[in-house]
């Protein structure tokens, strides 16, 4: 199921749809399809489009300061900020985006909860000897967080499994949930489904604060990557909505 969950967004990515339209147009001698594909690729590769779409995911929320967050029983930091790479002695992990980690550290040091929980994110195709949560725990200890205050959930392959894994280890109900702003709506729903009272602490905002410039109309692979993330998140939200509709609450 996890493979299907990851493959479906890929099939609907702007790059794949563009390729299908262009190939169809060439082989069927229908230029309008090829042109439509190229227009889609251009639009998806501009920051004008990427920022507009991402703002719909992130909403109008602003990056908050840890000192302004409410108190909770635990701080829960979701996985998804590290990637496995090949090291001299075998596979190791490197940061891809550390915002979630540092937000969890800031919240703990601000006294917002006595417990810091990292989810045990792990994917079957990744060559790692331990979950992302275990790696993050070690990093948190280097920042002076007592080991007794840090927990790592059981292994999880997606957001729904993360929520279930945290519920299995935490009987308290109030949590501060830390994840990327575009991912927060879906994550919050999954943790509330497990009976948690969730206070959202979104980070990793993608919508830029820059004023518009003509460069925003130029194709940029970074913008295409953001548009692809939008498509993946839309599909993820639809998947979980359908799952909730098909299963009664609490299953």
pLDDT tens digits, residue range 182-227? 999 999 999 999 999 999 999 999 887 777 889 999 999 999 999 9
Residue 235: its pLDDT value, please? 86
Non-local CB neighbours of 49 within 8 Å, separated by 6+ positions: 43, 223, 227
Average pLDDT across the chain, whole number: 88
Residue 84: its pLDDT value, please? 77
Q: Domain residue spans in the chain?
A: 2-60+220-246, 66-203
Listed residue (43, 3, 7) closest to 235, CA to CA: 7
Q: Over the Cα atoms of the chain, what is R_g?
A: 20
Q: How many Cβ atoms from other residues are within 10 Å of residue 71's Cβ?
A: 13
CA distance 97 to 101: 9
Q: Which of 135-139, 149-153, 246-250 has the lowest mean pLDDT?
A: 246-250
121 close to 132: Cβ distance less than 8 angstroms:
yes
Non-local CB neighbours of 62 within 8 Å, separated by 6+ positions: none
C-alpha neighbours within 13 Å on the C-beta side of residue 5? 16
According to DSSP, residue 62 is labeled -
Instruction: For the chain, give percent helix, strand, coil, nearest 5.
Output: 55, 15, 30
What dotted CATH number matches 66-203?
A: 3.40.50.620
User: Interior CA angle at 87 toward 82 and 93, to 5°?
Assistant: 10
CA distance 227 to 243: 25
- Helix (H) or strand (E) holding 75, with range, is strand 74-77
| Confidence band, pLDDT 50/70/90 cuts, at residue 250 | very low
Q: Which two tokens stand for residue 124?
A: 């079957």
What are 169-189's pLDDT values in tens digits?
998 789 999 999 999 999 999
Check whether 150 has a pLDDT greater than 90: yes
pTM of the model: 0.84
């Amino acid at each position: 199921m996890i493979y299907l969950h990851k493959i479906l967004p890929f099939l609907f990515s702007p790059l794949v749809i563009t390729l299908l339209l262009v190939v169809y147009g060439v082989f069927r001698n229908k230029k309008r399809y090829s042109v439509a594909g190229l227009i889609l690729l251009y639009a998806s590769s501009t920051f004008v489009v990427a920022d507009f779409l991402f703002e719909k995911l992130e909403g109008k929320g602003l990056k908050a300061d840890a000192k302004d967050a409410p108190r909770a029983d635990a701080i829960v930091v979701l996985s998804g900020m590290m990637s496995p790479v090949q090291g001299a002695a075998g596979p190791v992990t490197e940061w891809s985006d550390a915002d979630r980690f540092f937000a969890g550290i800031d919240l703990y040091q601000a006294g917002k909860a006595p417990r810091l929980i990292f989810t045990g994110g792990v994917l079957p195709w990744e060559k790692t000897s331990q979950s992302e949560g275990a790696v993050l725990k070690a990093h948190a200890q280097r920042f002076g967080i007592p080991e007794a205050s840090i927990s790592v959930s059981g292994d999880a392959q997606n957001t729904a499994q993360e929520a279930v894994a945290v519920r299995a280890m935490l009987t308290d109900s109030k949590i501060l949930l830390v994840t990327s702003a575009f991912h927060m709506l879906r994550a919050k729903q999954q943790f509330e489904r497990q009976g948690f009272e969730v206070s959202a602490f979104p980070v990793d905002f993608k919508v830029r604060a820059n004023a518009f410039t003509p460069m925003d109309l130029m194709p940029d692979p970074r913008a295409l990557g953001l548009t692809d993330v939008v498509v993946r998140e839309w599909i993820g939200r639809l998947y979980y909505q359908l799952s909730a509709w098909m299963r009664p609450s609490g299953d």
